[in-house]
Structure 1
Amino acid sequence: MADVFDQIEWNVRKIFGGEPVCVHVGNTRECDIKRHPTYTKFRAEAIRVGVQSAPSSRLWESLITMGRLSDLDGDCTWRLVILDCIIPSFRSLSARVSRDFRVDREEIRSAMVTTALEVWADTTMGVAPRHVRDRMVKAAFDVAFRHGKATSSEYPMDDTGVLSWPELPAQSSTLKASSIIDANDIRDADVAEQIRGERAGALLQRWGCFDAVRSFHDEIRTGRRSGSVNQAVKSSRLRSLISNPNHYYYLSDLYPRHIGLPEAAGVIGIAESAAHRLIRAGQFPFPVARAGRSYKVSVRALMHFKDIPDVIVHVDDVENGALHARGTVP
């Protein structure tokens, strides 16, 4: 019978299949490093270096960082990958504890996964990525022995609970800038959505960059590009009848997915040297991906830190707002 360990492994393999895996920025096409292994080879290497020297491993530093970045996007994919690369260390111990203490093996394994995830949550800030893997393993080992000695179900957990995919965060925030329409206290979701788009378009026009945005819109309309908005969080059924549902995108789609650490440090207001010190100490305010000798900063993570809402907009609304700001609409 499949237990929580098996379910994690099956889910991760279903996600990646036989495709190349990028642990640097999460996308092989956007990564500066051009050679990427399949997930099977990647996992084998992660297991090997994890057991030998995780604190000094760049692979595990990148792996933990990808998990943190995925968490910010409400995506547990890389968190599952981390568990999948740790589970081989759990299997033999859980079997031995189950045998020696005559405790249900599935209960022990569920307790180990639960504890590992609790450590994951507790080490979000103040712990350098290179130390997270070993802390998760140590805590899971400790709870397995405690569970065995207690010979009770002190740490229950539904095996499928850890696999539940969190819902995407609600996109209810509005741009913190003056708007051509007062969007305060708008209760109609369709109207609020339209105002968010028009407000964004007005700002882009005032910043003098709307011509580039128009090119982006043309690519969306012709199908050469698609926004990153999940179908489940697009507009209401009413607006979908009059607005093409494939023409929605996040504002962050207008920017590159990653920028360099010097640029990110400038946005935050600190020196690049200070940013490096904070990263090494595990105290940088959000995860930073490592690709070779350089760091890549997720623009979405930076927007989240700066409290800049990554709202969903429709190309028609954005263009209408730009036209209003330009003064070409009566």
Structure 2
Amino acid sequence: MADVFDQIEWNVQKIFDGEPVCVHVGNAMECELKRHPSYPKFHTEAVRAGVQPASSSRLWESLIAMGRLSDLDGDCTWRLVILDCIIPSLRSVSARVSRDFRVDCEEIRSDMVATALEAWKDTATGVAPRNVRDRMVKAAFDAAFRQGKATSSERPMDDIEALSWQEPTAQDCKPRASSIIDVDDIRDADVAEQIRGERAGAMLQRWGCFDAVHSFHDEIRSGHRSGSAGQAVKTSRSRSLISNPNLYYYSSDLYPRHIGLSEAAGVMGIAESAAHRLIRTGQFPLPVARVGRSYKVSVRALMHFKDIPDAIIHVDDVENGALHARDAVP
């Protein structure tokens, strides 16, 4: 079934119907330039120009100007063209939000288009034409994530799942007790804590990195934590079936302090090129550190941005989960 993205694309193609596109005066027959691209070629150029630095995108400045002029004439043609040229940037984000939050993709895309149009109206004055496209895309991204968080009937992924999510393979599709239990629905806090830790340990074991985690646990037990880990986490809970109440830590201690911009962009659901553009325009929503020619993003800041809880887990629970996962391997 066609959604709003498809409808916009079809309407624009129907409008031009193979005719040359002129972004200078709107009508190729009246333009002094004699060579004009067909709409598919123009669309490709506009999409490519959209991910370039805003200050160098002359095509988009002309496109925005045509959109404003057509608005004055009560014509929505160029507004539709602008939407059609940003839709490729919105498709992947809408699909990711729909998947991660289990929300209908068509509803998300409709909301993204409506919000992008609101941004178009809000930027009619006081905003340079070269910045309008980025404002529309960012507003659409924000709308998608807001709707996903507000309307999702399922819990979001746990912390370690969200940052390291992978498509399940056939071997990983066997039902596991901890994977079908919603921790948020468990009233006993101790049981929820245990399941959360065991789930993390099981995933670490399946990914083949539990040996490093085991060494990390040895440092906790010896009182000599190093690397990204801080001081031992204190908790008011008094579970009876744990070896030591002082062996808790934050799940973020298992991650590096910083990750590359490419990985961070993947978690955020945007292209790396879009992340670079947002950094250049000062609109990237997270603090970044410049390391040579690359950027690093704080993992904890990324978790906060994605509303990923930095859960407190116990070494016993994590190790038990890893042990169960290892024993389950045929």
Please classify the TM superposition score into its range, dividing by the shorter chain length. Answer: 0.3 to 0.5
TM-score by length of 1: 0.45
TM-score by length of 2: 0.45
Higher RCO structure, 1 or 2 (CA under 8 Å, sep 6+): 1
